[in-house]
Structure 1
């Protein structure tokens, strides 16, 4: 069924559509909970804890997009390190395991940075361009295919979605500048191959220096997420924590090089990490993403405000509820205190409205109490299944 409520209620887009934060092009306009963002944004190692569906990934994506405010330049450079992409091929028993995967992720990050913001590469010296292009070629399979896609479409979003959708910025680069970037890649891919170190420590150091020293970014943020996807997490949180110890133990030392590890982590591993990182634990800024009914209601109202371009800030404005009732708060009190569950219930309210109105198109274009009651009844009947399904989204 088409979303007729968008037209009925004069919404510019559906702010409740996406359970997966990386797919939402408007995510950066929804932020609430500035304390949590301060921890993620500050130039210090950080750990941000929440249950699955509690907003970790949304905050990670928001932090990454904030790095690109102003279109590159003297900002932190974000590298997404999403563990389930790699976990099947490594036990992460050593720091080298992590460095290997972070270098891989940094190649994706640099390639997409150059194609979203071509001037970053175009302003680099020719020797540096050659090193960067050949580094990316060594770590990004099928690079020729991605370059051809960029040449044809001039849409970095298409390539970003294929490499790692965390990097999708929902914007178009300058087409003529993007063509120049593709030419630089093609030129240096045809040239003489430069030597590559066999030491992953040296490769990591060189990449970080390129970013902070040569390209002019003020720091590097390694945004680690995906521990929810560890199959061992539920049965053995200590094992999941142990897989991070070698990386997190290095984080305090890296701050002198302006490299900051930001862990977006499940609550189950906090005590295990603290026990294993006793000497380094105090270096990390720490915060919990906590949700209650009031915070969830604020989140919903913020989305309404953005999607209606400020015409109203509550679904009360398009409902037949008495003026004293707070629709967002009533819905938030029903669900498990997690953003994804609140969004699911709101979608069901709107679905119930459409089903009822579709059977009687002469009815007033308002959400009625029966729509809300039917949605709540559906949620309570399906709650266990909904919670499980939404948790699986968090696990990737």
Structure 2
């Protein structure tokens, strides 16, 4: 049986959001992040309800399958509780939350996941993403239509296909049982971190020789430094020895605040989660759409139209830029052909049209006329000048230079 060496949970409202709709839990055996959706008065309630219900599964179990069943059952029960809350408070219709959880059992971890919060594992210096996002753009990535880098900036990146909420009575939850070993570092985070901080930066921070709490704080700071347009929540679990001393479970984010209903919410308390009517928020909220083929096909076609428009726009500007470059080159070449200089050709003084330089394989000059004056017969000073070439502003100027060289021989 492996031991928990250290754990940490940190949550921050971010730089733009007015309230924190994330919740995090670091318990005795259970670790969870929930990212709420549904507006100013819905997302925080949803993530808090789910976190508190799932935290009840923080217990010891006889086997990993039993632990997995308990964790998945807690999430389904939390989903029912959300539906019941919406039926009693219609202003919360449409609220929901992601949920990503790890339950430690012996030398194994039970994982349950729904939504776009993420679970990562750092093992032997290598970082891997364990969970799969239940988002529209992830389906595009899986289908090979876009890259993971394009998904980071896709206009539909906020569209979730699966969440806990009042939409589905039995939502599909990803679950798995994996081995864990001393030295493993597990990260659970909301998309306020993974959507801002790159995979390589996550790897660097998690690989640092620092404690769980220090790394969690650094990750939150990295998100804030990147603009933190959303709430950011980080839960870290380190496996190894010596085991961490027993401490009370740590709850962060909206689940750490009191849950107030209706009139009980008055007078207002700064930290209370208030079940008030929905109020629009200036920041784009996470959007949920059922995982339906019709919706997927419709968005696929919309995405194809966007790509066609993007290709047309890029093609147009590439054509314009290419035409501008050709025009500049043509005008530049024409200008060089208005210039002349005096140099040497076959040991004789000659007049060249153009300029002395070449543009790669393109010659910017050509022999205009070779005179009968031998360079060797010129004075040493004039020989050096001709060998280095003498610039002339026009053909007439070049002719005058040749005439002066010829006079110097008399």
Task: Pick the TM interval, shorter chain.
Answer: under 0.3
The structure showing larger relative contact order (alpha-carbon pairs under 8 Å, at least 6 residues apart) is: 1
Larger radius of gyration: 2
More strand by share: 2
Scaled by the length of structure 1, the TM-score of the pair is: 0.23
TM-score, reference length from structure 2: 0.22
